[in-house]
Each structure stands twice: as C-alpha cells, then as structure tokens.
Amino acid sequence: MHNLSTKKVFALFVIFGWILLIVADRVDELRVYQGATIAITTLAIASIIILTGYSGQVSLGHGAFLAIGAYAAALSQTYWQSPFWFTLLMSVIVTSLIGFILGFAAGRLSGPYLAGTTLALAVGLPTLANQFTFLGGETGLVYDAGNPPARFGEDFTLYKWFFWISAFVVLIAMFLIRNLLHSRYGRTWKALRANPTAAQLCGINVAQSKILAFTISAGAAGLSGALLGMISIVAPSAFPLSLSFTLITGAVLAGVTSLAGSMLGAVILVVIPEIAEVISTSLGESEKVISNLPGFIVSVLLILTVLFSPNGPAESIRKRREHHQKAKH
C-alpha cells in the first residue's frame, strides 16, 4: 500500500472492514473472540513498530502502556460513569501523557538504558496496582463496553459486539498510523533510526523526534490495552511482564519495519496456543507440556526468523516483489 493514494487506502480499509464483519457473523464464538484478540494485538504490535521499527528506540516493557491505557479507561468508567467512546479517548490521552514524560528520558537514553527503563516500568506496575484499593487490587476492575444494540437481534452475541468494536477502532487507528508513517514524520524517524548523527546535521531535532515517537507509540499501545481490558478484565494478571516479550516477539516475526506485517505477527501469536494444544492432545502429553509448548514454538519461530528473515516475512516478501518489478523494467 506504499504507492497507493490515501483515498484508495481508505477504500481498501473500508472493504476489509466489511469483509471482517461479514465473516464474524458466520463463525462460532471462539473464532470471534480470537478475531477480536488478533485485532487488538495488531494495534499493540503496530505501536512497537512506530517506536522501534521507525524511530529506532527499544522498549522491553511495552505491556506497561497497555496496562496504563486499560486502567485509565476502566477508572474513567468506574468513577466518572463516562460513555464508552470517552473511556477509549482517556486511554489514549493518559498513555500519551505518560509516553511524553518518558520521552524526555528517551531523548537522553539509548540502547540498553532505555530498554531497561521501560522494563522496570512493566515490572513495577503490577505491584503498584496492588497497593491502591481504587485500582481494584488482584481482582481488578470491570470494564464494560455495554450490551449490543437490540436492533442487531438476539443472535448478535456479546463477543460479536466486542469484535465489531475492536475491528472498527483498530482499523481507524491503523489507517491513521499508516498515514503518519508515510508522512514527513515517518521519513524523519527513518532517518533518525538509520543515522542519528547525520539526521541531526540535516537539521532534525533528534530529542524532539524521539519524544514524539514515544508519545504516539504509547497512545496506540494504551488504546489496544483498553480494548484488551474490554474482552478480559483490567487486573495485574491481565498484563504480566510476559505480555511485553510476547508483543516484541510478534513485532520481530512480522518485521519491525513493516506495519502491514503487524497483522501477520498478531495472527501467529493468537493461533500458536491452539496449534500447541492440538499437537499436545494428539501426542497425549501432560498439562505441563501443553502449557509450555506455545512458548517453545514461539521461541523456535523467533530464532528462525532472526536467522533467515531478520526483517520479518512481510518485509522479505515486499523486497522480493520490488526486485521482480525492477527486473521487469
């Protein structure tokens, strides 16, 4: 979609959205739930692609921003009785603000120091959530998207409603992110990632660009966190440290520079547990093997991707296509 106009891309997003909604109405509840999870994970991975793939900053604790977004949305609903659309807006505003504050550190830190800072945030947040009763402790907070409109009929279940909301919000967010990354801001971040010194000599404000990337990335992650809280629960257990590593894995599998590949990474992450369960069941293995097999499969895929396709399958396919086009000309 790199060479397509904004209007054509918008039309493709609309068509893709309608296809998703039609398919969701014809599959079972489990598939609908998985579809919502894929949509949410796609946006979460996209937030890492903004930060790492474009601006070159590494975050090992990005799950913390998902947690902040989820809590911001749930708190505004619980204590302010805010409408659902406003709670989503609050998740973006609050996480963007946190990202902006941390962005000042990002402007001064790089490499392992920045990664360590975000990792510390992800480790500390669950403990912090348990210290304050208004955050719900271990049981967490309930974040409700409301019941589906009666006009959709009795067969329109709550999970279908969750999927519709997730797909609609994520498609809009991805469209906006796509346009942003194809604007001068995206080009500036790419220059910054490739060579910060050269970018600075060209007049680019490196610190300001890093702060902006961190802010937008955090906002996107916060929105995905609110949607994740909608289909599960807003509690420390829903945002463990492993979530951050899972999202990084998804970004690497997709290709950290490929926004289009974020959906591929999300599909892989959501489908792998089901594949692992099928394999374990067919082999008659124990519960311990079933619980550990998904992590093992993801680890193997991650190693294979780093060895044979460092930029991810989606990026490799794109480069191969460009090579064939050049060969024809």
pTM of the model: 0.89
For 146, left (φ over 0), alpha (ψ -120 to 50), or beta?
left
Residue 1 has pLDDT above 60, yes or no: no
Beta bridge partners of 141: 234
Report yes or no: 166 and 231 within 8 Å, Cβ to Cβ: yes
206 to 62, 190, 200, 201: CA distances (angstroms): 22, 12, 6, 10
- From CA 248, how far away is CA 254, in angstroms rounded? 10
Say what the pLDDT of residue 44 is.
Answer: 96
State how far the Cα of 211 lies from the Cα of 108, in Å rounded to an integer.
10
Q: Would you call 119 exposed, middle or buried from its count of C-beta atoms within 10 A (0-12, 13-18, 19+)?
A: buried
| Number of residues in the chain | 329
How confident is the model over 106-159, as pLDDT tens digits? 666 666 777 778 888 888 887 787 788 888 888 889 898 888 888 877 778 888
Give the pLDDT of residue 228. 95
pLDDT in tens, 247-263: 988 888 888 888 888 88
Beta carbons of 192 and 204 less than 8 angstroms apart: yes
Percent of the chain past pLDDT 90, that is, above it, reads 29
Does residue 223 surpass a pLDDT of 90?
yes
Closest CA to 294 of 261, 249, 260: 249
pLDDT in tens, 282-320: 766 666 666 777 777 777 877 877 777 666 666 666 667
